[in-house]
Structure 1
Amino acid sequence: MEKLSKWLKDRQITEVECITPDQTGIARGKIMPTNKFLAERGIRLPESVLLQTATGDYPDDEAYYSLLDPKDIDMHLRPDEDAVFMVPWALEPTAVVIHDCYDVVGNMISLSPRAVLKRVLELYSVRGWKPIVAPEVEFYLTKRCTDPDLPLEPPIGRSGRQESGRQSFSIDAANEYDPIIEDIYDWCEAQELDIDTLIHEEGTAQMEFNFRHGDALKLADQVFMFKRTVREAALKHNIGATFMAKPITGEPGSSMHIHQSLVDIKTGKNLFSQPDGTASSLFLNYIGGLQAVIPQIMPMFAPNVNSYRRYLPGADGNAPVNIEWGEENRTVGLRVPNSSPQARRVENRLAGADTNPYLTMAANLAAGYIGMIRDLKPRPPVSGRLGDEADPDLPFNLEAALFAMSEAEEIRDVLGANFVDGFIATRWAENEGFKRVISSWEREYLLTTV
């Protein structure tokens, strides 16, 4: 704790937010004075917080008590000294410290998303491999809306007007939101988040921030913090920001594309390329693993009922509905950008912005790992434009995806059986909650006609 103590004292931090991500990606934890935080060297939380859904509910009793101690015991959270961030929007000097979750004998809690990612990264480490990733995160800016029955609208920009139409890559359209964008940049800099490029995406008031490539755990931490940063900046300007996969009817969905490559830990050389610059067998195996395993773990790329609204044909969906691969081809789910041999990588374009970044990283890397250790071969690459025909191997609703994941035995060995059971249980709980709600579509079209 010496490194962390010095960091806090050097910045005169008076308050510490002690947090850990749950399976939805929500920050759970406690806030305490810095002196108390340093004295206690961690916090305790009920294990059950890791099985909460987005609504704060829990799986049914059978799943709940098979995964947790029936006495609802505490777990011990230890601070990660390399996951400390300023809170630039706070009124007094405040820091966020991300914690890992342990049981009473010192074992990491397998239900923790951070533990799942660390588990997968360890599989790579023992083979001398280091994954390198680069996320791209999309979101919508909206008018503030407190009535969930009302559709979302774009906010008023600097010109005093609402944006309309598709403005993909428009500089002027992005500049309409300069005040909030400047705050996002300033606050990300204060937190040392490695954001790089900003673009205006295709949707109305839809933005995308790209992160610089780097270590998977560190970037998962950064995306976790970035989402909160964007929401806080939006609140400051009295507008909304949402990372829902499909928040607006008739507009494209929001994704979190993940670029992935693999380097040798000792030499730093890209293992996806051979010495002559051509693609290596590991690269092809990695893609083969993605193609083989993604259909089994779609809930980790599309975890909510709303997630599957992205996978629609045409511009309304604007997301791939396949797991084909190809070079410089945005119509496939697994795109290989044109790059130098040292930068050879594959981009998974299926994941939504609503995903938990730790679990999205873990899912990608687990699939690629299985492909490499099993010497899986990919399908032939797609050279031309791929149509809107959906891949028959992919589940395109949450229930089908959960059934497929529950039957995937190999992924249980890689991610941990307890995590897989717990994650599926929370997704079923959310799905059951959704089914109890009568939608405006049902009232509009069925109320007086059936």
Structure 2
Amino acid sequence: MGNSASDVIKMIKEHEVEWVDVRFTDPRGKWQHLSMCAEVIDEDVLEEGFMFDGSSIEGWKAINESDMILRPDLDAVYMDPFSATPMMILVCNIVEPGDGSLYNRDPRSTSVRAEAYLKSTGIGDTIYVGPEPEFFMFDDVKFEDGYDRSGFKIDDIELPTNTGRDYDMGNMGHRPRAKGGYFPVAPVDSCVDIRGEMVATMMEMGLPMDKHHHEVAAAQHELGITFGTLTETADRVQVYKYVVQQVAHAYGKTATFMPK
């Protein structure tokens, strides 16, 4: 059985939640959010959803038809481990206020409809997906696109370009060669503890994790998340990306899931 609105209200009280962070996915696949005071959250709003202006989300509504509803999936509830005060994350579908249908440009709603369509065909009951999200972590990222110049520059202690660089504490020389990051131990693998903290944080949030390791390229990494149903896994990947970028940031690094 899934969570009811009363179950979520009980969770808010048990965890002494101060903020309920309402999150949805934009057309580019990026999590967006707004933070609601926990005091205004009741069973009615959990069941009916939150009204918001969809006209400022790129690729969505025109200004004259901007009203949309954020309707929480009450089984997609997480506690945010990075908030300074207790905060609950509610993952939402986007709903049309006129007829209550799932919005056709909302990626999560598309996933929900895809699962429903599969069942309606009789071909199968469940879609299982097992993704392998990989990412890079860098110490420094610069980019610009102006009238007189355009470009980017990345740097990380693991990159082969730093073999001759002067560091304040000396250059230790332990770094993967080009395409040599699969799987040397530390100190060549410089991020064992960072990845371990990422995995531990995801497990704390309820994600089914099984491993982590360095990937082929310098500064490239992967964490193992096990399979689940389509929409369930899509939500977990959003949590995965959020945790990776937050933990990396805490260590003074920046993480990116852009194509390698």
Does the pair score TM above 0.5?
yes
Q: Is the 8 A contact 2:93 2:102 kept in 1?
A: yes
TM-fit CA distance, 1:182: 2.7
> Does 1:25 pair with 2:25?
no
> Does 1:108 pair with 2:115?
no
TM-fit CA distance, 1:213: 1.6
User: Quick one: distance in 1 between partners of 2:207 and 2:56?
Assistant: 27
Tell me which amino acid in the other structure corresponds to 2:39.
Answer: N
Q: Is the 8 A contact 1:143 1:156 kept in 2?
A: no
1:43 corresponds, among 46, 50, 56, to 50
> Does 1:125 pair with 2:119?
yes
TM-score of the pair, normalised by structure 1? 0.48
1:148-159 equivalence runs, <5 A: 148=144, 149-155=151-157
User: Which structure features the higher share of helix residues?
Assistant: 1
1:81 corresponds, among 53, 71, 74, to 74
Which moved further from structure 2: 162-171 or 232-241? 162-171
Partner of 1:144: 140
Give structure 2 stretches of 5+ with no counterpart: 145-150, 160-170
User: Quick one: distance in 2 between partners of 1:13 and 1:131?
Assistant: 33
Q: C-alpha root-mean-square deviation of aligned residues, in Å? A: 2.3
Alignment CA distance shift 1:186-1:48 (3 Å): same
1:9 corresponds, among 10, 13, 18, to 13
Q: Deviations over 1:46-66 (max 9, x none)?
A: 23355x1xxxxx5xxxxx7xx
> Does 1:92 pair with 2:85?
yes
2:240 corresponds, among 226, 233, 237, to 226
Tell me which amino acid in the other structure corresponds to 1:75.
Answer: M
Q: Is the 8 A contact 1:19 1:29 kept in 2?
A: yes
Alignment CA distance shift 1:225-1:155 (3 Å): farther
Q: Deviations over 1:132-182 (max 9, x none)?
A: 11111100011133444442122469x966734122122336752133223
Partner of 2:195: 181
Partner of 2:148: none
Aligned length: 231
Alignment CA distance shift 1:155-1:2 (3 Å): farther
Q: Is the 8 A contact 2:132 2:222 kept in 1?
A: yes
Q: Is the 8 A contact 2:142 2:153 kept in 1?
A: no
Partner of 1:201: 215
User: Quick one: distance in 1 between partners of 2:114 and 2:226?
Assistant: 21
Q: Deviations over 1:400-437 (max 9, x none)?
A: xxxxxxxxxxxxxxxxxxxxxxxxxxxxxxxxxxxxxx
Tell me which amino acid in the other structure corresponds to 2:50.
Answer: I
Question: Helix, strand or coil for the counterpart of 1:31?
Answer: strand
User: Quick one: distance in 2 between partners of 1:203 and 1:175?
Assistant: 11
1:171-320 equivalence runs, <5 A: 171-172=185-186, 175-245=189-259, 253=260
Q: Is the 8 A contact 1:197 1:210 kept in 2?
A: yes
User: Which structure features the higher share of strand residues?
Assistant: 2
Q: Is the 8 A contact 1:230 1:241 kept in 2?
A: yes
Alignment CA distance shift 1:122-1:14 (3 Å): same
TM-score of the pair, normalised by structure 2? 0.80
User: Quick one: distance in 2 between partners of 1:139 and 1:44?
Assistant: 34
User: Quick one: distance in 1 between partners of 2:100 and 2:242?
Assistant: 30
User: Quick one: distance in 1 between partners of 2:21 and 2:188?
Assistant: 32
Identical counterparts, % of pairs: 22
User: Quick one: distance in 2 between partners of 1:83 and 1:196?
Assistant: 21
Alignment CA distance shift 1:164-1:6 (3 Å): same
Give structure 1 stretches of 5+ with no counterpart: 53-57, 59-63, 246-252, 254-450
Q: Is the 8 A contact 1:154 1:163 kept in 2?
A: no
Question: Helix, strand or coil for the counterpart of 1:193?
Answer: coil
Partner of 1:441: none
Tell me which amino acid in the other structure corresponds to 2:52.
Answer: L
